[in-house]
Chain A
Amino acid sequence: MDDDLTTRIASDPRYQELKRKRTAFGLWLSLAMLVVYYGFILLVAFDKPFLATRIGTGVMTIGIPIGLGVIVFTILITGIYVRRANREYDALTEQVVQGALK
């Protein structure tokens, strides 16, 4: 890619919007994943009795839905990113590319 094209794309406000939005969204979601996972690990490390608390009258503990919840959260948060990227970022990328190559 030549320098001219690079400069032209880099100064395109749509490119700046794309870069800013996607990077920020990616970092926020990464942070959310870190908080959920290390929150879970710290809960295991520091408050084992809490996770072993029974829900209701049976043997089911609060730890089971929390643990499985982390798995579901992992899949969901990935899905949220992919959905937004497919709808929003791809369209924006397309505009930037069209604008630069015309």
Chain B
Amino acid sequence: MSAQPRRATLDTALRAGLGLALITFAGVALAAPDLGQAEKQATNWTAITMFAVFVLGTLYITKWAAKRTRSAADFYTAGGGITGFQNGLAIAGDYMSAASFLGISAAVMTGGFDGLIYSIGFLVGWPVVTFLLAERLRNLGKFTFADVAAFRFAQTPVRVFAASGTLVVVAFYLIAQMVGAGQLIKLLFGLDYWMAVVIVGGLMMVYVLFGGMTATTWVQIIKAALLLAGASFMAFMVLYSFGFSPEAMFAKAVEVKTGIAVAAGKSPAEAAKQGFAIMGPGGFIKDPISAISFGMALMFGTAGLPHILMRFFTVPNAKEARKSVLWATTWIGYFYVLTFIIGFGAITFVLTNPQFLDAKGGLLGGGNMAAVHLANAVGGNVFLGFISAVAFATILAVVAGLTLSGASAVSHDLYATVIKKGKADGAAELKVSRVTTVVLGFVAVLLGIVFEKQNIAFMVSLAFAIAASANFPVLLMSVLWKGCTTRGAVVGGFLGLISSVLLTVVSPAVWEATLGHPAGSALFPYASPALFSMTIAFVSIWLFSILDNSARGKIDREGFLAQQVRSETGIGAALASSH
């Protein structure tokens, strides 16, 4: 098809911003929040100054961390010396992206209750991580989740699989973050797109290269604390203005939405219905299959994200690993309650204020600006600068975690274990991680620039779907099922990986919304492949394991007892001081 109509479709969707984009894409309104395209705003020096302060602070920490980053263990896991509380905050900092802050608050402003359904999906994976994986990961692993998945298996094939799963997830997640950063800097700082991509790529390289996991952890902790503090203040101000009555806040929001519908020419009855629609589920979930499949991708994807799993190796023991997920769940859950209040606050304070609206009644700068305009409304220009700087810092923290995880997959799984057969010396392995970090930094900048104009709405959900369909099944089965063998894990894992990618490509979000094929032509009608690709992965892991009569399969099954004893008791687990 010609470029012209496709451009128009893109522009329409993008102008509508995230909330509407969620609802327009593919008829099933299920896609990850992304930051869409943004118009460049006036240069905001307050925000830039505050961001510069954040950067100086984190660079100072990186300098301090660099002195403590000597061995491979320091680089990958901060020497295992992070406490459960610190790690909980760092996990929250790794997980709460700019897209979830700006995107979910915008989705709540647009669709009310629907935004809440979305954020719940991002939270419910954490208990599963706690109950089934966190302690076992800590007891079995050293640096990467492949240490756990490959514990009793033939190293080469499982490591190759795990490194592929890691790099694919990291790549999609990274593209989404880089493009998000570029759009955000236009909106928040009024600078050019390419500057954001280069700043993020450069800083991320510095943090990871010199400070390794120690610097990455502290960048994530600081970012989480700033984001939680900023969002708490906004939610407090919103509630304060309604005398801490949620009923008053909701009533006003319904009134505002009704008024907007009346202004759009609706009859009073129709307008009242439309205004009240924010208080219940709307168009977000249309068919139950999509709803369940998407829910599975979010829930189990959380338990298969390599940069999150890696964080469990930074604490000294299983007890701290367990505590860190509880803290992470608490902070992330609290954060989603805040974004819900912020979204409703934005209906009252942003949608009614001509200062924040363009001629057509849309938000200045696009739909994702809900939280940013609200920051201005409740805290003035200085607080606006603060929130803008925090939103940008958020991307840095996520990107640093992703890079570190990608670099570890290359140096620890591929270089040290597959190529050097476990005989690499620490210094050489560390050097490979650092070279990989630099390469990933350049690749990320390049991808950020290449994908600038692309519709990347599907990328975060794709990353979750792959993590749920490839990494999670292999990890879970290798840890809990005695019968699992090398062959089953590798075949099942790769089938999950391939099927989740292929089904996403032929789903409406990519086939129609991104590749521009006509509506209704997508072969796979659902919003997320997880229900199907996870089934494919689990069934094939099981099938290829039970059919495996090889000598290797026998060794794999015999190794289960020793693995289980270590995973339950921690005897023989890598210690904080020595690992």
**Partner-B contacts on A (CB < 8 A):** 1, 3, 5-7, 9-10, 15, 18-19, 22-23, 25-27, 29-30, 33, 37-38, 40-42, 44-46, 48-49, 51-52, 58-61, 63-64, 67-68, 70-72, 74-75, 77-79, 81-82, 85-86, 90, 93, 96-97, 100-101
Contacts and interface: CB of A to CB of B under 8 A. Distances in A.
Interface string B314-326: 0000010011011
Given A51-B113, A61-B280, 14 more contacts: A1-B571, A6-B565, A33-B127, A40-B120, A41-B288, A44-B284, A45-B291, A46-B288, A51-B281, A79-B326, A82-B326, A90-B319, A96-B569, A100-B571
Q: Chain B interface mostly helix, strand, loop or mixed? A: helix
B569 A97 contact: yes
A12 to B, nearest CB: 10
A102 B76 CA distance: 33
Contacts of B280: 48-49, 51-52, 61, 63
A64 B247 CA distance: 11
Interface residues of B, number: 55
B308 interface: no
Q: Chain A interface mostly helix, strand, loop or mixed? A: helix
A37 B333 CA distance: 14
A81 to B, nearest CB: 6
B25 interface: no
B251 interface: yes
B358 interface: no
Contacts of B14: none
Contacts of B247: 58-60
A30 to B, nearest CB: 5
User: Which 4 A-B residue pairs are closest in the complex by CB-CB distance?
Assistant: A52-B280, A26-B131, A45-B288, A1-B572
B41 interface: no
Contacts of B288: 41-42, 45-46
Interface string B538-571: 0000000000000000000000011011101111
A86 B119 CA distance: 29
A81 B319 CA distance: 12
B28 to A, nearest CB: 11
B50 interface: no
A18 B246 CA distance: 45
B127 A74 contact: yes
Contacts of B285: 41, 44-45
Contacts of A97: 569-571
A37 B124 contact: yes
